[in-house]
Amino acid sequence: MKVTWMRTGADGQTMFEDLEIATTRGERGDETPLLRVDGVFFRTGQPALDMDFHNAPRRQLVIPLGGELEVEAGDGTLRHIGTGDALLADDLDGQGHKSRFIPDGATVVFAVLGDDVDPAAWRA
């Protein structure tokens, strides 16, 4: 399972890193190990937003169920997170990122990760 990790680099700027959570083949399809989360919430009717630089409010997986999220790192790099993709928003300090939700009315699930989840373990 591919995950885009958005985190703060040593220079204080938000950066992206591509990760891969290992999966195993089961009778119902490919499956990742169980990830501990502290909570999950859904945002429905997400208005089209264009937000200036800000930090993630918590470590969370952002997964659009409908619509798209565009995020911009400190160096201007853009990433598009579409339906079924996963973004790990983990830039809790530093410059932050810009984000844009499109279109109006999107549905997004947010899974707040437990402190013991180490995304560095997902590096290929």
Q: What is the full per-residue pLDDT of the chain (124 aa) written as tens digits?
A: 999 999 999 999 999 999 999 999 989 999 999 999 999 999 998 888 899 999 999 999 999 998 899 999 999 999 999 998 999 999 999 999 999 988 888 889 999 998 899 999 999 7
Is 80 part of a structural domain of the chain?
Answer: yes
Is 121 part of a structural domain of the chain?
Answer: no
Is 122 part of a structural domain of the chain?
Answer: no
Is 107 part of a structural domain of the chain?
Answer: yes
Residue ranges making up the domain that contains 45: 2-23+32-116
Is 42 part of a structural domain of the chain?
Answer: yes
Q: pLDDT at position 72, please? A: 97
Token pair for 59: 């470590």
Do 82 and 64 contact (CB within 8 A), yes or no?
Answer: yes
Do 109 and 37 contact (CB within 8 A), yes or no?
Answer: no
Is 56 part of a structural domain of the chain?
Answer: yes
Is 123 part of a structural domain of the chain?
Answer: no
Cα R_g (the chain), whole angstroms: 14
- CATH number, position 16: 2.60.120
Q: pLDDT at position 80, please? A: 96
Q: pLDDT at position 14, please? A: 97
Q: pLDDT at position 30, please? A: 94
The helix or strand, by DSSP H or E, that contains position 63, with its residue range, turns out to be: strand 60-72
Question: What is the number of domains present in the chain?
Answer: 1
Candidates 105, 24, 118, 107; CA nearest to 63 is 107
The rounded distance, in Å, linking the Cα atoms of 97 and 90 is 10
Is 86 part of a structural domain of the chain?
Answer: yes
